[in-house]
Amino acid sequence: MKFQIECNTGDISKMCLICQENFQTDEARLIVCNDQGEGYGDICHQCIAKGGNWVQFQLQKFSQKLLA
């Protein structure tokens, strides 16, 4: 998995890939992508704030669900 950061020009409502909560995007979006650059979804600011190790663990669990 890869991360893609995009500038955001307006408020967009998204659902967090990790916590499944709806949130409004700010100036930038953090998008989780596969190795081909296809997006799986956005991560909200509250999940990002929990730290890189926590996010990595959550994404590993997400990855295992994709392979099942």
Per-residue pLDDT of the chain (68 residues), as tens digits, is: 889 988 877 778 899 999 999 998 878 889 999 888 888 999 999 999 999 999 999 998 888 876 76
Q: Are 55 and 63 in contact (CB under 8 A)?
A: no
Closest of 23, 66, 63, 62 to residue 46, by C-alpha: 23
The model scores a pTM over 0.75 = yes
Confidence at residue 19, expressed as pLDDT on a 0 to 100 scale: 95
Looking at residue 64, its pLDDT comes to 82
Chain centroid to CA 19: 10
The rounded distance, in Å, linking the Cα atoms of 65 and 58 is 11
* Backbone φ and ψ of 50, nearest 5°: -75, -10
